[in-house]
Structure 1
Amino acid sequence: MKKVGLLTRLIIGLALGIIIGYISKEFLQFDFFVRLLATFNGIFGGFLGYVIPLIIIGFVAPGIAELGKGAGRLLGITTLLAYVSTIIAGTFAFLVGTGVLPKIVSAVGGHASNPEEALVAGFFQVDMPPIMGVMTALITAFLFGLGMAAIKNKSLYQVTKDFQEIIEKVIQNVIIPLLPIHIAGIFANMTYAGEVARIMKIFGSVFAIVILCHVVIIVLQYTIAGTATGRNPFTALKNMIPAYLTAIGTQSSAATIPVTLRSAKKNGISDGVADFAIPLCATIHLSGSTITLTMCAMAVMMMSGASTSFGLLFPFILMLGVTMVAAPGVPGGAVMAALGLLQSMLGFTEAQLGLMIALYLTQDSFGTACNVTGDGAIALLADKFAKGSAPVAGTSTVGGEV
C-alpha cells in the first residue's frame, strides 16, 4: 500500500480542522473538541519551542564546519554566488510582498486587532522551557562551526554529526508525523473563532504570488548566468526543465541531484565543476525556499497587523541566507531551520509559527523545484569563474532542503 505523502496528510488535517471547528460552532455549540485540539497544540508548540535551539545547534554547527573543510577557490566562489542569489531572492520577495500583500489583506477584510484573543485556550498547559534562547543557540552554533573548521579536529565534528542525526530523527519521527494534527488544531480553532475564511483567501493569493516570484527569479538567474557565460539563457533554462519537474515530484534537492547534474552538463558545464557545484548547491542554495519563507512571513505578520518594514525584514533575510545552509534533510526542512529566526527576529507566537508551517508546506515542492533549477545557474557562473579548475576533493553536503 502506497504511503500517504506529507502534503496529503496536511491537507486532510486542515480540512478536518475546519470541519471540527464548524460543527462545534454551528451545530454542537460547545468547544470541547476544539479545546482538546488546543491542548494538544499547546503541548506540541511547547515541545517545538524546546527543540528549536537544538535544531539550530544540531544543523548549523556541522553545516558551517563542513563548508569550512573544503579548500580552494571554487568552494568560496560557489558559496558566495549561492548566498548572493539567496539574498536577492529574499529581497525580491520582500519588494513584491510590500507592493501586493497589503492590498490582498485589505481586500479580504483587513487584519484583526488581536486575532489570538478570539482563540479557544486548551484545558491545561505544560511548560517546556528551552535550554537556551534562540540567539544564544545561533551564536553557539556559529562559534562551534567556525571553531571546528579552524582546528581541523574530527572528534568534536563527529559528536555534532551524531547530535544532528538525533535531532533529524526527532524531526522525522515526532514533529513531522504530528504536524497534521497540529494544523488540524490551528484551523479548528480559527474556524471556531470565525477567522478561517479570511485566512484561506489569503493562503490562495500568497500561493499564486509565490509561484510567480519563483518563475521570475529563475528567469533572472539564467539571464545573468547566460549573459556572463555567453550562453542563450532560455536554451539553458530549457535544458533544466527535467530537473524542475523531478524536484516537484521528489520534493527533494538531494534526490534530484542525478537529474540536475545531467541537465547542467547539457549546458556545457565541465564535468569537474558540475560534479562539485551541483551537490554543494543542493545544500546551500535555497532561493526558492527563501522567497516562500519571506513572503509567507510577511503575510502572517500583516494578518495580525504587525509591521513589515525593510529594517525588520532585511536582517531576517540576511540571517535566513546563512541558516538555509543547515536546512534539515526532511520535508519542510527550510521552515524547520527558520523557526528560530521567525521567533527571535520577527516575534512569531506559537500560533503564527503553526500558520507559517502550513503556508510553507503547501507549496514546498515548487520551492524545491526553484532551488534545484537555480543550482544550474550557479553552476554556470562557477564554471565561468573557475576557468576549468578541478573541484575541491572530499567536500560533501549536509542537510539541504527536501
Structure 2
Amino acid sequence: MKRFGLLARIITAIILGVAIGSFSNDWFIRFFATFNGIFGNFLTFIIPLIILGFITPGIGEMGRGAGKLLSVTAALAYTSTIIAGIIAFFTAKSLYPTLLNGQSLQAFTDPTAGLSEAFFSIDMTPPMEVITALLLSFVIGIGIAAIRSNTLLNIAIDFRQIVELVIEKVIIPLLPFHIFGIFANMTHAGQVATILSVFAKVFIMIIVLHILYLVVQYAVAGSVSKQNPFMMLRKMAPAYFTALGTQSSAATIPITLKHTKNIKARENTADFTVPLLANIHLSGSTITLLSCSLAVLFLQGETITFGSILPFLLMLGVTMVAAPGVPGGAVMAAIGLLKEMLHFDPTMLSLMIALYLAQDSFGTACNVTGDGAITVITDSISDKFNITDTDKTKA
C-alpha cells in the first residue's frame, strides 16, 4: 500500500507541476531548479552504493543454491526477462516513429530552449564509477557464493539494509518534489505537452505488451503441459489483480502459489519456484524499463539500434535479480545502467522514474502472473529429466 501512496504523490506532483508552472514567476521555478540540481547530484552520488548494496547480496544469496531446480528456474527466468526486453525493443522501434512523430525535448538538447537555471549547485563526487561498482559487486557476490562466507554475506545484507533506508527515507520522500520541479520547469518552458502526450501513448503500449507477453508465456506453458493457455490465464487472474492492488511480488506470493498449483504445477515444485521467481523473474518490469528508456532516447533524437541496446538489456536481466523490496525497486536497481550505458542525465533519470512508477502495479502484475507459466515449464522440464526431490531440497 505504501507504493500506492507513492504513486498518488507522483501523480499529484505532476498535476501540480503543470498547473503551478503555467503561471509561476522565474524566481519560484529557479528555486525548484536548484533543489532538482542538488537532488540529481545526490542521486548520481548514491548510484554506485545502490549497485553495491543490491547486487552483491543478491548474487551471494542466489549462488548459495546448488540444486538443479534452482539452475533450471534461474535460467528460464533470465531467458524470459531477456525475451521480454527484445520484444519491447522491436515494438518500440517499430511504433515510436509513428506514435511519437514530431515530438522532441529541446529543453534537454538545447540549453537555450527555456528551462530555468538553478541559483547554485553543489558537486557530489560519486565514491566510484558505475562500471567499477558493477564489477566490484559481481566479484564480491560471486566470491561470497564461492567461499560460502556467512560473515561477508551478512555484511552485504546489512549494507543493503542501509541503502534501502536511504531510498525509503530520503530518495522516495523527496522524489515527488523533484518531479514537481521538473514538470513545473518544463511547463514554464513550454515543454510539458510533449511529456504528457508521451506518458499516455507509452503507458498504453506497455500495458498491451504485458498482456501479449503473458499470452506468449502461457502458450509455451500450455504446450508443454498440454493445457489450454487461456484457461490457465483465467485461473491465474486472481494473482494478477492482487498484484495490481499490492504492487508487490512478495506480498502476492501466497495468492500466486495457490493458483499456480491450480494450473497443474506439482506442489513441491511450486513451493520452491514461486518465492524464488518473485525475486528474479521481472519480465513485466523489463518491458516497462526498455519501453520508457527508449521513449526518452527517441525524444532526445538519439539513434537507437539493437546492437547498442542489447548489452544494456543483458546487464539489466542480471541487475533485476537484485531489485529490492522498496517502491520502484526495479528502476532504482537499473538507474546505474541507465546512467552509464545509455548516458541518462539526472533529469532523464527522473523522467524514467516517473514513467516507470506510473505503471508499476501493471508491471508487477505481469511479473507474478508470468511466474505461474515459468513454474509449469520448470515442472515439465524437471519431470522429463527426472530432477528429484533431493535436488530440490539441496537448492
Which TM-score band applies after superposition, normalised by the shorter structure?
over 0.9
Deviations 1:107-134 (A, max 9, x none): 5x44538545232111110111110011
Structure 1 match to 2:388? 389
| Whole-angstrom distance in 2 between the partners of 1:229 and 1:136 | 44
Aligned-residue offset at 1:394: 7.7
| Whole-angstrom distance in 1 between the partners of 2:347 and 2:16 | 18
Code of the residue aligned with 1:389 in structure 2: it is T
| Whole-angstrom distance in 2 between the partners of 1:227 and 1:311 | 32
Structure 2 match to 1:184? 180
| Whole-angstrom distance in 2 between the partners of 1:341 and 1:22 | 34
1:344-355 superposed matches below 5 A = 344-355=340-351
Code of the residue aligned with 2:61 in structure 1: it is E
In structure 2, which of residues 182, 185, 192 is the aligned counterpart of residue 196 of structure 1? 192
In structure 1, which of residues 52, 55, 62 is the aligned counterpart of residue 57 of structure 2? 62
Is the counterpart of residue 50 in structure 1 residue 50 in structure 2?
A: no
Deviations 1:11-39 (A, max 9, x none): 11111111221012xxxxx3111111111
CA contact (8 A) 2:104 2:300 kept: no
Aligned-residue offset at 1:312: 1.0
Aligned-residue offset at 1:88: 0.3
Q: Structure 1 segments of 4 or more deviating over 6 A? A: none
Structure 2 match to 1:231? 227
| Whole-angstrom distance in 2 between the partners of 1:248 and 1:331 | 14
Structure 2 match to 1:6? 6
| Whole-angstrom distance in 2 between the partners of 1:137 and 1:288 | 26
Deviations 1:244-287 (A, max 9, x none): 00000000000000000001000111111101100000000000
Is the counterpart of residue 247 in structure 1 residue 247 in structure 2?
A: no
Structure 2 match to 1:17? 17
Structure 1 match to 2:77? 82
1:296-307 superposed matches below 5 A = 296-307=292-303
| Whole-angstrom distance in 1 between the partners of 2:355 and 2:209 | 16
Deviations 1:166-202 (A, max 9, x none): 0011111111111100100110111111100011111
Is the counterpart of residue 215 in structure 1 residue 211 in structure 2?
A: yes
Structure 2 match to 1:31? 26
CA contact (8 A) 1:113 1:304 kept: no
CA contact (8 A) 2:54 2:324 kept: yes
Further displaced range: 239-248 or 381-390 = 381-390
Aligned-residue offset at 1:212: 0.3
Aligned-residue offset at 1:300: 0.4
In structure 2, which of residues 320, 338, 345 is the aligned counterpart of residue 324 of structure 1? 320
Code of the residue aligned with 2:10 in structure 1: it is L
In structure 2, which of residues 138, 143, 147 is the aligned counterpart of residue 147 of structure 1? 143
Tell me the matched-pair count.
Answer: 388
Aligned-residue offset at 1:311: 1.1
Unaligned segments of structure 1, at least 5 residues: 25-29, 396-402
CA contact (8 A) 1:111 1:304 kept: yes
Code of the residue aligned with 2:338 in structure 1: it is L
Calculate the TM-score normalised by the size of structure 1.
0.94
**Cα–Cα, structure 1 residues 31 and 125, in superposed 2: closer, same or farther, change >3 Å?**
same
| Whole-angstrom distance in 2 between the partners of 1:134 and 1:173 | 23
Deviations 1:189-242 (A, max 9, x none): 111111000111111000000000000100000001111121221111111100
1:121-136 superposed matches below 5 A = 121-136=117-132
The 3-state SS of whatever aligns with 2:23 is helix
Deviations 1:359-383 (A, max 9, x none): 0000000000000000001100111
Aligned-residue offset at 1:314: 1.2
The 3-state SS of whatever aligns with 2:250 is helix
In structure 1, which of residues 287, 294, 297 is the aligned counterpart of residue 290 of structure 2? 294
CA contact (8 A) 1:105 1:111 kept: no
The 3-state SS of whatever aligns with 1:75 is helix
Deviations 1:75-106 (A, max 9, x none): 00000000000000000000000001121221
| Whole-angstrom distance in 1 between the partners of 2:268 and 2:122 | 53
The 3-state SS of whatever aligns with 1:260 is helix
CA contact (8 A) 2:57 2:141 kept: yes
| Whole-angstrom distance in 2 between the partners of 1:275 and 1:3 | 26
- Alpha-carbon RMSD across the aligned residues, in angstroms, is 1.5
| Whole-angstrom distance in 1 between the partners of 2:19 and 2:104 | 24
Structure 2 match to 1:27? none
| Whole-angstrom distance in 2 between the partners of 1:94 and 1:292 | 10
